[in-house]
Amino acid sequence: MNEPKPTNTEVSCISGDSSAAERRRSARLKVTAIAAVSALTGGLAAAWFYRRTLTRLQHAELNGRDSNFGMSDEPDDDGV
């Protein structure tokens, strides 16, 4: 039972440089964390903006302003 000895490249692939794999994992974790924080920040900004906009619309409705935006009550040229 003669087993062939692994070559240097096979040994390096098997044992590998664990620090390189650790660096890749660390970089991937950093990018994932940055993407998650960015998505969360964007979501919060959008929610704040639309909440403010909806509040303005609700207050405008409560103020009872005329929806004709300052148009006079006089009939138009065509009599309507």
In a domain, 68, yes or no: no
Radius of gyration of the chain (CA): 34
In a domain, 78, yes or no: no
CB 14 within 8 A of CB 6: yes
In a domain, 75, yes or no: no
Please count the structural domains in the chain: 1
Six-digit token pair at 68? 């004709």
Return the percent helix, strand and coil in the chain, to nearest 5: 70, 0, 30
In a domain, 28, yes or no: yes
Q: Which of 26, 8, 28 is nearest to 18 (CA)?
A: 26
Six-digit token pair at 10? 């096979």
Domain housing 56: 22-63
In a domain, 37, yes or no: yes
Six-digit token pair at 70? 């300052």
Tens-digit pLDDT profile for the chain (80 aa)?
566 665 655 555 555 567 888 888 899 999 999 999 999 999 999 999 999 888 888 777 666 555 555 566 666 666 55
pTM value > 0.85: no
